Amino acid sequence: MTAILRTEQLTKWVTSGEQRIDILHPLDLQIQAGESVVIVGPSGSGKSTLMSLLAGIDAPSSGRIWLEQQELTALDEGELAALRRGTISFVFQDFLLLPALTALENVMLPLQLIGAEAPREQAQARLAEVALTARQHHFPAQLSGGEQQRVAVARAYASHPRILFADEPTGNLDAASGEQVIELLFRLNREQGTTLVVVTHDERVAGRAQRRLQLDAGQLLELD
């Protein structure tokens, strides 16, 4: 198997006055292509920080990150943004759909950004996979939390990313909607071969992944 994502002595710290606060201690991690990985750990242990670094949204304090042969930590912001587009997708706890766009338009947007063919038809196909064809012309405010998160999952998968990061995707959902969203994430991981990295407090999610990692005060442990 080949690593799709690899870090070497990755750290993150912030300074507050004279004090340095270490958020992530030097961290070496490899994630294989197609793998499903769950990251668990207490609040404040650095899970969201690690995801942002791996997704190239935030810059580390030191250390290096590779996405296949490409060193992310050697790219400037414009190059990173170009690389992320169509390669890396994110699903957030609070959905973050664009409120002025319909469900369909939200899913079409990343396809339009990469110049995909037939963005409308592709977006409709993704919405059908999350069982929301009937709601495609509704705005986010007209949808339930679970429905909005399914739109967010459809949007995240629309551009056929190599890696999908999800940070507490079920955190704002009730048990039944959460179950549907988890089912979807893992089904699409299986069917599309997308590498899936999920941060969660949710035992059901942790149990579904091929691999479990734990962060504890910025230190990474491999579970199992």
Ligand X SMILES: Nc1ncnc2c1ncn2[C@@H]1O[C@H](COP(=O)(O)OP(=O)(O)OP(=O)(O)O)[C@@H](O)[C@H]1O
Residue 127: both structure tokens together: 């919405």
Binding of ligand X by 7 (CB under 6 A): no
Angle between helices 145-158 and 175-192 (to 10 degrees): 10
Residue with CB nearest Mg ion? Answer: 48
Q: Which lies closer to ligand X via its Cβ, residue 127 or residue 196?
A: 196
Gap between the Cα atoms of 175 and 186, Å rounded: 16
Binding of ligand X by 169 (CB under 6 A): no
Least distance (Å) between residue 48 CB and Mg ion: 3
Q: How many residues bind ligand X (CB under 6 A)?
A: 10
Q: Which of 80, 91, 72 is nearest to 6 (CA)?
A: 72
Residue 178 identity: G
CB of residue 47 vs ligand X: minimum separation in angstroms? 3
DSSP string of 82-117, one letter each residue: HHHTTTEEEE-TT----TTS-HHHHHHHHHHHTT-S
Asked whether position 48 contacts ligand X by CB under 6 A, the answer is yes
Stretch that binds ligand X, among 26-34, 38-46, 133-141, 143-151 (CB under 6 A): 38-46
Q: Which residues bind Mg ion (CB under 5 A)?
A: 48
Question: Where do contacts with ligand X occur on this chain (CB under 6 A)?
Answer: 14, 23, 41, 43-49
